[in-house]
Amino acid sequence: MASSGSAQVVTHPSASEEPGPGALTDGFHLLIDALKMNGIENIYCVPGIPITDLGRMAQAEGMRVISFRHEQHAGHAAAIAGFLSKKPGICLTVSAPGFLNGLTSLANATTNCFPMILISGSSEREIVDLQQGDYEEMDQLAIAKPLCKAAYRVLHANDIGIAVARAIRAAVSGRPGGVYLDVPAQLLGQTMDEVEGQKSLVEVIDPAPAQIPIGDAVARALDLLKTAKRPLIILGKGAAYAQADEEVRNFVKKSGIPYLPMSMAKGLLPDTHEQCASAARSLVLKQADVVVMVGARLNWLLSHGKGKSWGEPHSTKFIQIDIEPREMDSNVEIAAPLVGDIGSCVSALSEAMGDAWPLPPAEWTDAVRQKKDANIAKMAPKLLSNSLPMNFHAALGVLKQIVAERPDALVVNEGANTLDLARGIIDMSKPRKRLDVGTWGIMGIGMGFAVGGAVETGQPVLAIEGDSAFGFSGMEVETICRYQLPVCIVIFNNNGIYRGTDVNPSGGGDVATTVFVKDARYDQMMEAFGGVGYYATTPEELKRAVNEAMDSGKPCLVNAVIDEAAGTESGNIGKLNPQSALSKA
């Protein structure tokens, strides 16, 4: 039975030693052992009361503990670790303020269907519940609950094994998401018999079981697909997450149907694949008659599946593959719901298609190809522009080439124009290489994703950042330098949010709200921590700097000076800005 006696000596044996009679363990070690038993190797954290020792002990026990400057970025790193590995990423924070800082990333992970567990220390239950003003007092469990998939609190050391098992299963089974685990300070110091403690740990068996679609649903989907004159497949980040790469590729190739990758699904098949319809996006959305959604939601990113973008009044019929049954009919009627995991669903479709499945009408695939070729040809000269100051397209033309030559590198991308243009211009050739602002369009994922991506995969990272976007997590360049991670940050520095040319509408006073210090030297921020800074004003300089940086495998930051007048308001989603009723009158 757990006790909270502090006078007892904890003699946690190393894995090779058998615990001697009467040996004790404690909450700290049980938590670490429970994570390790379930194959979790990394923790992303900011230390402090009451979890400083937890980080130390985790390091002592062989875990990698990456310490950040702000919990939000530790949380984003954990979330992207979850996306990349299908194991929940772990973020560890202190109570109230640290917990709240981590909560943004927990909520963002849940929104994006990334599995992560936010473990936060909390203060004494007796004092919190009577609101008597403990150090960093907050009812964290209650606050976390509506913002994540599940939230648990552990009060007894002998429940830690079960609590961690529940948290892992909740994070990764069904639709993945964020889980909160509340760890009161007293729990960590509780001791119990070492042998009993080890017995209380739980190895989660088959944490995300396959979910096989029912035969009728497969047949219904194929009956519909068979009638299509202008079919389209949309691949979403759920398909990338599922790691059913071969199954997805087989289905796409066998069907011969043009496909559109959502941003984080780019590279499941190479963007240069002949069936890729990215460069004909408007046309395929407007004209498709049957659309197969594979791990993508009909949310704002797809204009909710209706309206002008979908060519209404023409009506599109949807087949939707998703592990979450309640996703069906969320925005429009789903004619053929296919509930199950991506791998099982696309395999079932491919198999039931047999060997004589007809290719889509050539009239349709030719029209898509023509549009795509025309758009690519229109874009090509813009990417070679040598005008000064450098514009987005010229800078992205350089990065496009570099990414093509370095297919293993992860690309992290955030900003407005910097995001929209990079997403369209830079081709990805391997799955789960493009990490970006996701479902919320959240700024601030940059350095957290860069650290998490580098730590989890050991691959180099190219972070393409708007100057505003970078500012949300910029202090983590110290973290990148401290751990000597192979991260090259390229800042598209156009002196502000969207552009640097706005003026205060009053005609005087402060600068405009979207404008930053002109010609800020972000490269010197990197140098402050021992990394390498580059300053690039031309495509040639940019190319040299980024190649050198990526070759070095060292922390580098390239300050790419971009025409401050080149961007558009809100990038390509300016239409979401409300119109002033007064200015319309």
The residue ranges that bind Mg ion (CB under 5 A) are 466-468, 494
Contact at 8 Å (CB) between 152 and 167?
yes
Among 124, 324, 502, 527, binds ligand ADP (CB under 6 A): 324
Q: Return the one option of ligand ADP, Mg ion, ligand TPW, none that residue 283 interacts with (CB less than 5 to 8 A, by type).
A: none
x/- track of binding to ligand ADP for residues 225-264 (CB under 6 A): -----------xxx--xx-------------------x-x
Cβ distance to ligand ADP smaller for residue 96 or 298: 298
Strand order through the sheet with 150-153: 64-67, 42-45, 89-93, 116-122, 178-184, 150-153
418 forms part of the interface with ligand TPW (CB under 6 A): yes
Instruction: Name the DSSP letter for residue 114.
Output: -
Cβ distance to Mg ion smaller for residue 177 or 466: 466
93 forms part of the interface with ligand TPW (CB under 6 A): no
Cβ distance to Mg ion smaller for residue 239 or 419: 419
x/- track of binding to ligand TPW for residues 491-530 (CB under 6 A): -x-x--xx--------------------------------
Residue range at the interface with ligand TPW (CB under 6 A); choices 289-297, 371-379, 414-422, 542-550: 414-422
Sign of CA dihedral 390, 394, 400, 402: negative
Contact at 8 Å (CB) between 90 and 167?
no
Beta-bridge mates of residue 92: 45, 119
- What the block records as the tokens of 443 is 């700024």
Identify the CA nearest to 118 among candidates 136, 99, 142, 132: 99
Q: Return the one option of Mg ion, ligand ADP, ligand TPW, none that residue 476 interacts with (CB less than 5 to 8 A, by type).
A: none
Span 86-125, contacts to ligand ADP by CB under 6 A = 112-113
Span 501-560, contacts to ligand ADP by CB under 6 A = none
Residue 7: CA atoms inside 13 Å, Cβ hemisphere, count?
0
Contact at 8 Å (CB) between 50 and 95?
yes
Spatial separation of the C-alpha atoms in residues 523 and 166, rounded to whole Å: 44
By CB atoms closer than 10 A (0-12, 13-18, 19+), residue 369 is: middle
Residues in Cβ contact with 70 at an 8 Å cutoff, skipping those fewer than 6 apart: 46, 101, 473, 475, 476
Identify the CA nearest to 96 among candidates 57, 142, 43: 142
Shortest separation between residue 133's beta carbon and ligand TPW, angstroms:
31
Q: How far is CA 435 from the centre of its chain?
A: 6
471 forms part of the interface with ligand ADP (CB under 6 A): no
413 forms part of the interface with ligand ADP (CB under 6 A): no
Characterize 142-176 residue by residue with b for buried, 16 or more Cβ atoms within 10 angstroms of its Cβ, and e for exposed.
Answer: eebeebbbbbbbbebbbbbbbbbbbbbbbbbbbbb
Residue range at the interface with ligand TPW (CB under 6 A); choices 88-96, 222-230, 337-345, 415-423: 415-423
Q: Which amino acid is at 530?
A: G
Among 467, 476, 478, 523, binds ligand TPW (CB under 6 A): 467
- DSSP symbols for 69-104: SSHHHHHHHHHHHHHHHSS-EEEEE-SHHHHHHHHH
Residue range at the interface with ligand TPW (CB under 6 A); choices 117-125, 204-212, 393-401, 465-473: 465-473
Cβ distance to ligand ADP smaller for residue 426 or 566: 426
Beta-bridge mates of residue 67: 45
564 forms part of the interface with ligand TPW (CB under 6 A): no
Shortest separation between residue 314's beta carbon and ligand ADP, angstroms:
22
Residue range at the interface with ligand ADP (CB under 6 A); choices 274-282, 296-304, 515-523, 556-564: 296-304
415 forms part of the interface with ligand TPW (CB under 6 A): yes
User: If you count them, how many residues does the chain have?
Assistant: 585
Cβ distance to ligand ADP smaller for residue 220 or 543: 220
Among 26, 33, 193, 341, binds ligand ADP (CB under 6 A): 341
Span 420-449, contacts to ligand ADP by CB under 6 A = 439
Question: Which residues of this protein are in contact with ligand ADP, per CB under 6 A?
Answer: 112-113, 175-176, 236-238, 241-242, 262, 264-265, 295-297, 299, 301, 322-324, 327, 341-342, 439
Question: Which residues of this protein are in contact with ligand TPW, per CB under 6 A?
Answer: 415-418, 441-444, 466-469, 492, 494, 497-498, 567, 571
